[in-house]
Amino acid sequence: MNHPSRDLSHVAPTDRAEILSQALPYIRRYHGKTMVIKYGGNAMTDPALQAAFAEDVVLLKLVGINPVVVHGGGPQIETLLKRLGKQGQFIQGMRVTDAETMEVVEWVLAGEVQQDIVGLINRAGGKAVGLTGRDGAMIRARKLRMVDLQDPAVEHDVGQVGDIVSIDPSVVRALQEDQFIPVVSPIGFGEHNESYNINADVVAAKLATVLQAEKLLMLTNIRGVLDKDGSVLTELTPRRIDELVADGTISGGMIPKIAGALDAAKSGVKAVHIIDGRVPHALLLEVLGDQPFGTMIRSH
């Protein structure tokens, strides 16, 4: 892609060589490794950030790293539901999904959003392929039983929201081996072939676990997980997470994101990072550098 504003003619050749040589240890360290990237927030809706994200994904692939993209689409779903006169409802960060809403979710995620991302990556020089949980029987799901956070005796009915039963990553591995970049919509299927809307953060975390990913990178609309004073918490442990949920610092949509990240860290994913998707080339800043960027989730 041509970006006249990014003309680097003012950068001396020796400086350019130095920049590339600084990246070499990271390229060597992660060559052949899988990285699962949860793509959402502003990074999905701002055209300049979209282009930067696609370029980052393609560059990672070209230097021998295997990116797998899992995307959300909350704002896009909300826009279409409003156009249809339906009001979105959330319980504990999860979208309540009746049959009509499920149709909208499938149309938006597996159609519009997924194909936009595939197109962006292909335009940047990669070879992206869109998948849902049905493809290759990848994501088997069941109806989510949502227990109330305050009263465990209360259970909320959130409709066709899914809980992952199992993930078969063979279709993702087959695509990776042929140099494709998988782009996964978070839709699963049940034992009666019914569709389930699954939280994209949860899908990304489980997929990172079954793929034994080197990193799980979750792009968000904040600088990382923030404390009460608005400062970034660069590292989180299970105990600290419990404290932050208890005092309300972590709430709403951040709850499933943190829970999924922690599960992945406990299940062998070497590094789990929640990073600011509003920063251009956030992926490269995280992967090809040692500076703390966002929040890292530790298993202990």
| Torsion sign over Cα 65, 215, 188, 278 | negative
CA distance linking residue 61 with residue 179, whole number of Å = 8
Alpha-carbon dihedral angle through residues 234, 270, 93, 70, given to the nearest 10 degrees: 120
Q: Does 224 count as an annotated binding residue?
A: no
Rounded Cα distance between 292 and 234, Å, is 7
Please give the sequence-ordered ranges of beta strands (E in DSSP) within 132-225, or none if there are none: 139-143, 146-147, 155-156, 162-167, 181-184, 187-189, 195-197, 215-220
Count of Cβ atoms closer than 10 Å to residue 248 Cβ? 9
Contacts of 286 (CB under 8 A, 6+ apart): 215, 217, 273, 275, 293, 294
Cβ neighbours of residue 184 closer than 8 Å, sequence gap 6 or more: 68, 69, 70, 71, 131, 132, 133, 138, 172, 203, 207
* 73 annotated binding-site participant: yes
The kind and range of the H/E element at 273 are: strand 271-276
Judge whether 95 is annotated as a binding position. yes
Amino acid at the residue 204: A
Under a CB-based contact definition with an 8 Å cutoff, are residues 93 and 156 in contact? no
What residues does 296 pair with on adjacent strands?
Answer: 235, 273
Which residues carry a binding-site annotation? 73-74, 95, 197
Which residues carry a binding-site annotation for substrate? 73-74, 95, 197
